[in-house]
Structure 1
Amino acid sequence: MPRSFLCFLAILLINITSVFAQSTGAISGQIKMVDGQPFASASISLVELNKSTLTDEKGNYSFKNLPPSTYHIKIQVLGAAQKDIEVTVVSGQIATADYQLPEENVMALQEVTVSGNVNRFSKKESKYVARLPLKNLENPQVYNTVPKELILEQSAVDLGSISKNVPGAGIPMIANQGRVTFRSRGFETEPNARNGVAGAAFSSIDPVNLERVEAIKGPSATLFGASISSSYGGVYNRVTKKPYNDFGGEVSYFGGSWNYNRLTADVNTPVNEDKTALFRLNAATTNQKSFQDLGFTNNISIAPSFSYQITDRLSLLLDVEFGSEKGTSVVRFNPYNKGTKIWSIEDIAFPYERTFMSNDLIYQTQMLNIFGQINYKISDQWTSQTIFSRARSTINGYITAINGVSDTTARVQVITGNTNFIATDIQQNFIGDFKIGNFRNRMVVGLDYYNNSNDFDRITVNTATFDFTNPPANSGATQQIVDTMAEAGTGTLRKEKNSDNTYAAYVSDVFNFTDKLSAMASLRVDRYQYMGVYNIATGVTAGGLGANGTSAGPYNQTSLSQKMGIVYELSKDHLSVFSNYINGFLNKSGQALDGTAFKPEHANQLEFGVKGDVFNHRLVGTVSYYDIQVANSLRQDPNDANYSIQDGTQVSRGVEIELTANPFEGFNVIAGYAYNDSEYTKADTSVNGLRPALSGPANTVNVWMSYRLAEGKLKGLGAGFGGNYGSMSYQTNTQTTKITIPEYTMLDAALYYDQPKYRISFKVNNITSEKAWSVRLTPQAPAQFIGGFALKF
């Protein structure tokens, strides 16, 4: 073919393309919230061409290559009225169709990325805490949030490090299979909620896919149920990262002390051309050794998520967590507590850097959590939300503890075998925002089904006693010793299955008397069916050990819990006063000496305080006082030690303060103080009138200060410094024996250089190598150095 003819075809093609481009136009726009911040993931439809897309993280959207005509843009946002905008497209031009939502709180029903926030550590708005489109200042309940910005700056690579920023959390308690537990208002609280529903994990949880952590304070059974609100101190809710409307991500590497190596990846991409189907993958793997003489953990986490805007009214979210870990148990020391004594863990002289284990006593865990949610916009006032959650954890191998036999001797207790935990939660919520006359109502009506099933096939053995103050060579436990004892049948066998079902219905309404005065009223009815314990060895189904030490059999219980609150905004959107009365419960099995069946245990909280958001969001905080009364607690029957009676009580009172501040550009502070006074008020004589042993320190302080250059050649260079303080606490606290944990002050520092394409970070934890222990007397690591490097795309 002649070269001249090829040139002619090329020129013709270019001209045709140019003419076609000039004969079409485009529509673009930006969607903003009522406060001017960009609104991400809003559904935008081009009615005439039946095309749809989602806004990106900056609230932008576009439709290209449109023939000249008049079009209608339809904007659909959950919780807000539909908006239609007429747009005329002209050849070769881009028509603009911007929109700012006139109503508040719509973002509470879907994920929104807020950018350009001067106070970067204050991300208070949540769609999970009240299950309603409710701002923090309108919510009568206290909650703390730890956003991803703070997690990233602190190089917080585990949930324990993240919880340092929650007032009152204290030093995290690590269980033998990597599970973490915190303190909240004097009670143990686990991170068993995920995106607002049950997501329990009896294993370590990698934070690679966390958008933020929400610490919801006080009994919360009314909206969350006893299945995940197992603590009267509150609920820890893990909010996961969601897909967004763009391609991007990063890969990072962290290395540090004791052969610490961590690799992470975060990749996000649209799946289809309209960008209504989105996919995101977060993954991490971590290998580390213990600072002690023996011990290690190796794990991997994979967390994909997928969202699909099926129509302008219907959306789907699927979120999965998979984790696998192999490691050795942390030290859990239970000192000898017989006799009359008052001493500190420091006085006991248990070696700080010894485990008395071996690296062949390995546990292996596997976790799989599946979360699915379907949102359907029924009308401008009502939204349907259907949720499915399934959590499965498996533990194989060896779980250990060290039990004191005398003041100077101990022996290792080892549990070996298999354990499985499976939890299924199905919810149907109808969420409304409507008016009755001139009065605004925000309401959620929900149904909840929860099933829990566990099975155990394991044996517990106790190894030989050794002197831990002057230990002989090879003292402690090894795999060979444990296996030999288990095969000889010298241990205690647990071979059983158990399960329970919970059926619940709840309703919660926020009624606005005026623009500034609102009241919340919530009620939950909970039907609990305990199916009993099936003993595989005997083939008998019973209730396991009841409170009186005998088989209690399967049982059913019905519970009511309520939540009431009132809020008055002294200054609209800036300062509010609030009060709440919240109830929580736990089901109890067994019966008293006279045959009376036990009732569910109940806790009632009365709280009041002040919330503020002032100086153009530069100072955000909460100050509150609470009083929690736990009733119907079981205690030993004074007339018969083999039985229990149900009239025990416990009180927990305290003050909590949380502040996040941005005094001047580039400088951010987050600080908290928690005072907790817990006491058994009617209990066994050995503990009556005393502080519960595992309630943690009475006083805790957390603070983090950071400064980042916002301009100049070194823009993105920043540094942070802070720490945590906890007063003396108890591992054992009875009238005769008190084993105390000394106060601690642990300081951390960070240095980083954050650029659009990369990030370099350096962190030192526990700079002064302060010796500290959790409530399980697990020694905390001395100074740890972690360096990181991330590439962004």
Structure 2
Amino acid sequence: MIVPLILKKSFLSISLTILLIIPALTANAQSHQTGVIKGIVTTIDGAPAQGIAVKLKNTSKGTITNTNGGFEFKNLPSGSYTVEFSMMGYETSTADALITEAKPTADLSVQLDFSSRKLDEVIISSGGNRFAKKESDDVSKMPISNMENPQVYSVVSKELMKEQVVTDYNSAFKNVPGAGIAEVRNQGRTTSISRGFATPQLVRNGVGSFTYSTIDPANLERIEVIKGPSATLFGSTLSSFGGLFNRVTKKPFDTFKGEISFSAGSWDLNRLTADINTPLNADKSALLRINTALHSERSFQDAGFARNFLIAPSFSYAVNDRLTLLLDVEFSGYKSVSPMRVTPATKGKARSITELGLPYKLSFANNTINYAGQQYNVFGQIKYKLSPQWTSQTIVSRTRSSADGYVVGLTILTDSTLRQTVTNQDYPYYGTDFQQNFIGDFHLGPLRNRIVAGIDVYSLRATRNDASVNMPAINFKKPGNAYNNFNLTKVAPLFSTATFTNFTSINERTYSAYASDVLNITDRLLAMASLRIDRYSNLGTYFPNTDSTAGAFKQTALSPKFGIVYQIVKDKVSIFGNYMNGFSNVSGSDFAGNTFKPNQANQFEGGVKLDYSFVTATLSYYDISVTNVTRDDPDHVNFSIQDGTQLSKGFEAEIIANPAPGLNIVAGYTYNDSKYTKSNESIQGYRPTTAGPPRMANLWISYRLIKGAAKGLGIGFGGIYGSESFQSNTKTFSFTIPSYTVLDASVFYDKPKFRIGLKADNLTSEKYWSYRLAAQNPLKVTGNITFKF
């Protein structure tokens, strides 16, 4: 598919402008006999030190380090300087810098003697830009800053989740531009939206973690949302054409610290969590951190509950100054009534969930008809410093998640009747991901290269044993006694005559190699080039009753990625452009016997990033073209051809600001235009139902007192908005989901030894629904108390 001309021109225009500007800037720099002092400030554990006051002694010049820990002083006369670094509550550090005509740039690397966790506490108490920490080693699989990265990504930190009293994983995504209302599937697993594509939660600490059950947020350090096709570094199995979601877990640090927290709220919510960190030996080379959670609550509807536990130990050991080992484990169990899912009637008169009139507070489920889930995630990592320029990183990830028991689906038969379908299932998933990366940071002549090269071996296997039974139709507007008779005692005997299927539903292997290089052409101009080769092997569906296999196939795909960044203001304002690729493996063949190729998604994007001490922002426009989509063969019944196309383009904006001490703002807006551009006649030109609302927005504003007797007292207010969307959208039938505006508020009191919070979600009890037509919570009030030690 041809990329829209306007986007191509924009992308080429940015690149051409950069190339024209560079010589002029270089010539201008050479005409001045002045110098520069710049550098990066980090904590003792290697994290960027944001918000550090930097001053040139005996001058009036001063600045604040940005979210990358960077600072810069320009137009300085030649001579010797003393640079002073200070942070409230800690001793001042200094470093010497020398500027000469022969060496007009002094580049400092300063490490301050306190941990990133202590720095976080200082930023909170000083009222800094608390939610703007976007630096990550996972996004590009190497340490480059947000301002150096041509890719767009969002980060939801644990600090923001604490302020919002987040007690369930899906609530955290209110802070992600364009994520929408979570689609919760039968096993409790979550799928959100990214750039018009349904995107499941399959990545943990940068590698595969096929968790097909509910995720507890107690062990989350942050959530990274990487935008756009990301197969080049992460593969097709883990990312959608819209991006991926990476869960980063809490890791040990070098001081004893902990907290115990209890939350209680509407619908019998009771939640107890603990986070304990401690060194295990005197030299602090062995560290242990344990996070746990116990959670129970019921639904606001007549039936529905959720009970779960989590145990998550994390152990690190620094064998020496070159070798570090990490073992990170999560184990959890879950019991619940399955989430509501509704299929509308295509021949009814109702064309929206509001017209249908399905009672909002009735679940059409029963607490005796439930399922149990279990999951474990084991993450092992070996880091070895090969040399000052090269690091080896070896990762092994093992996962298992399962759902056993009963789930319920609702099918609308007419505008007043529905049928309940109960499935009895045993559905475990087993995943393994092995990665070996070599990460380098070196110079070739004057050009700095940061590179990652690696191999990835990923396997996923799932078995399925299930059967379904249909219940008699009931009048959902006046259900009567039939509603009470829907329970396990009545339903279980029906499975004695049901037909069970037992088969291996997924059995696949992926073998990949990739490399990515970030080249500093100048200190302001960077280029990224990346490539992945992927060999996919699907072993097919195995049916043990007939000892037969169907659907086995193999495919090979190449996935390139290119990007360019020019910093108009060093470390503060940059323009960027990227080309990114994703692919999805497709089974089958056409009428002539030609096997299908992988679907391909090609994104062109351009935008601008800001990173000042008081504001971090990203504005971008993207265009994603999907090719090799299969559609019905008009000349041969029951066959497909592979010439279909799909388009998803739009605008995204995210702002994280600290306009005044104690005042923090997180805001986002997205517009997405998605449609099938060449497809079956029934959907050609129509918006995919999984693309969600075309327009979405999010906002959170909080203010806390940072001085005086009431220091630590704060309030928060915000909400989310989504325009009208579709559950079904074809030429012959459409079924809409109305727009929504959901408002939240909180009040909190945060002190060094304790924290008290009160949160109200959905203040106006707005009625709104997910893509699966699951009714969402009305007003929910949650109180929390946390003890710190």
Fold shared per TM-score above 0.5: yes
Partner of 1:778: 774
- Aligned residues of 1:56 and 1:245 also touching (Cα < 8 A): no
- Residue type matched to 1:412 in 2? Q
- Residue type matched to 1:621 in 2? A
- TM-score norm. by structure 2 comes to 0.85
Residue number among 563, 566, 574 corresponding to 1:565 in the alignment: 563
Residue number among 255, 280, 284 corresponding to 1:246 in the alignment: 255
- Aligned residues of 2:40 and 2:110 also touching (Cα < 8 A): no
Which has the higher mean CA deviation after the structures are superposed, 231-240 or 640-649?
Answer: 640-649
Distance in 2 between residues matched to 1:742 and 1:250, nearest whole Å: 41
Partner of 1:88: none
Distance in 2 between residues matched to 1:290 and 1:498, nearest whole Å: 33
Deviations 1:295-336 (A, max 9, x none): 101000111000111110000111001110011012111111
Distance in 2 between residues matched to 1:385 and 1:282, nearest whole Å: 25
- Aligned residues of 1:211 and 1:239 also touching (Cα < 8 A): yes
Partner of 2:503: 495
**Tell me, what secondary structure is at the counterpart of 1:288?**
strand
**Tell me, what secondary structure is at the counterpart of 1:638?**
coil
Partner of 1:329: 338
**Deviation, structure 1 residue 593:** 1.6
Distance in 2 between residues matched to 1:377 and 1:113, nearest whole Å: 26
**Deviation, structure 1 residue 776:** 0.6
Query: Would you say 1:705 and 2:701 are equivalent positions?
Result: yes
**Equivalent runs, 1:258-657 vs 2, <5 Å:** 258-338=267-347, 343-475=351-483, 477-489=486-498, 491=499, 493-496=501-504, 498-543=506-551, 554-614=552-612, 617-657=613-653
**Deviation, structure 1 residue 41:** 5.9
Query: Would you say 1:170 and 2:174 are equivalent positions?
Result: no
Distance 1:105 1:438, change over 3 A: farther
Distance in 2 between residues matched to 1:135 and 1:488, nearest whole Å: 60
Distance in 2 between residues matched to 1:704 and 1:177, nearest whole Å: 30
Distance in 1 between residues matched to 2:232 and 2:649, nearest whole Å: 21
Distance in 2 between residues matched to 1:210 and 1:777, nearest whole Å: 28
Partner of 1:138: 148
Distance in 2 between residues matched to 1:305 and 1:781, nearest whole Å: 34
Residue number among 227, 245, 263 corresponding to 2:237 in the alignment: 227
The higher radius of gyration belongs to: 1
Deviations 1:71-94 (A, max 9, x none): xxxxxxxxxxxxxxxxxxxxxxxx
- Residue type matched to 2:442 in 1? F
Deviations 1:372-426 (A, max 9, x none): 1111000111100000001110110012210122232221122212111011000
Distance in 2 between residues matched to 1:705 and 1:352, nearest whole Å: 30
Deviations 1:206-231 (A, max 9, x none): 010111100000000000011211x1
**Deviation, structure 1 residue 34:** 4.4
Partner of 1:215: 225
Partner of 2:169: 159
- Sequence identity (%): 49
- Residue type matched to 1:727 in 2? S
- Residue type matched to 1:608 in 2? G
Distance in 2 between residues matched to 1:292 and 1:155, nearest whole Å: 22
**Tell me, what secondary structure is at the counterpart of 1:168?**
coil
**Deviation, structure 1 residue 200:** 1.9
Deviations 1:522-565 (A, max 9, x none): 0000001111111022211222xxxxxxxxxx111000001100
- Aligned residues of 1:260 and 1:289 also touching (Cα < 8 A): yes
**Tell me, what secondary structure is at the counterpart of 2:683?**
coil
Partner of 1:23: none
- Residue type matched to 1:560 in 2? L
- Aligned residues of 2:44 and 2:111 also touching (Cα < 8 A): no
Distance in 1 between residues matched to 2:92 and 2:318, nearest whole Å: 23
**Equivalent runs, 1:712-791 vs 2, <5 Å:** 712-791=708-787
- Aligned residues of 2:450 and 2:517 also touching (Cα < 8 A): yes
- Aligned residues of 1:254 and 1:263 also touching (Cα < 8 A): yes
Distance in 1 between residues matched to 2:430 and 2:118, nearest whole Å: 33
**Tell me, what secondary structure is at the counterpart of 2:171?**
helix
**Deviation, structure 1 residue 286:** 0.5
- Residue type matched to 2:392 in 1? S
* Count of equivalent residues: 697
**Tell me, what secondary structure is at the counterpart of 2:425?**
strand
Deviations 1:583-638 (A, max 9, x none): 00111111112211111111111100000012xx1011000000001111111122
**Deviation, structure 1 residue 768:** 0.3
**Deviation, structure 1 residue 161:** 0.7
**Equivalent runs, 1:21-40 vs 2, <5 Å:** 34-40=39-45
**Tell me, what secondary structure is at the counterpart of 2:540?**
strand
Query: Would you say 1:679 and 2:675 are equivalent positions?
Result: yes
- TM-score norm. by structure 1 comes to 0.85
Distance in 2 between residues matched to 1:309 and 1:58, nearest whole Å: 29
**Tell me, what secondary structure is at the counterpart of 2:193?**
strand
- Aligned residues of 1:651 and 1:678 also touching (Cα < 8 A): yes
Distance 1:113 1:375, change over 3 A: farther
- Aligned residues of 1:163 and 1:169 also touching (Cα < 8 A): yes
Distance in 1 between residues matched to 2:379 and 2:654, nearest whole Å: 31
Distance in 2 between residues matched to 1:128 and 1:137, nearest whole Å: 15
**Deviation, structure 1 residue 356:** 1.2
**Tell me, what secondary structure is at the counterpart of 1:598?**
coil
Distance 1:375 1:735, change over 3 A: same
- Residue type matched to 1:302 in 2? I
**Deviation, structure 1 residue 179:** 1.1
- Residue type matched to 1:695 in 2? A
Distance in 2 between residues matched to 1:567 and 1:96, nearest whole Å: 34
- Residue type matched to 2:212 in 1? F
Which has the higher mean CA deviation after the structures are superposed, 394-403 or 716-725?
Answer: 394-403
Residue number among 654, 659, 663 corresponding to 2:659 in the alignment: 663
- Residue type matched to 1:336 in 2? A
- Specify every segment of 5 or more residues in structure 2 that has no aligned partner in the other structure, as ranges: 1-37, 53-90, 97-105
Distance 1:322 1:103, change over 3 A: farther
- Specify every segment of 5 or more residues in structure 1 that has no aligned partner in the other structure, as ranges: 1-32, 43-54, 60-94, 544-553
**Deviation, structure 1 residue 500:** 1.0
Distance in 2 between residues matched to 1:355 and 1:734, nearest whole Å: 28
Deviations 1:693-737 (A, max 9, x none): 121100001000000000111111011000000000000011121
**Tell me, what secondary structure is at the counterpart of 1:200?**
coil
**Tell me, what secondary structure is at the counterpart of 1:694?**
helix
- Aligned residues of 2:309 and 2:333 also touching (Cα < 8 A): yes
Distance in 2 between residues matched to 1:103 and 1:680, nearest whole Å: 52
- Aligned residues of 2:536 and 2:554 also touching (Cα < 8 A): yes
**Deviation, structure 1 residue 113:** 7.2
**Tell me, what secondary structure is at the counterpart of 2:482?**
coil
- Aligned residues of 2:41 and 2:109 also touching (Cα < 8 A): no
- Aligned residues of 1:533 and 1:541 also touching (Cα < 8 A): yes
**Deviation, structure 1 residue 180:** 1.2
Distance 1:126 1:57, change over 3 A: closer
Which has the higher mean CA deviation after the structures are superposed, 655-664 or 176-185?
Answer: 176-185
Distance in 1 between residues matched to 2:681 and 2:286, nearest whole Å: 62
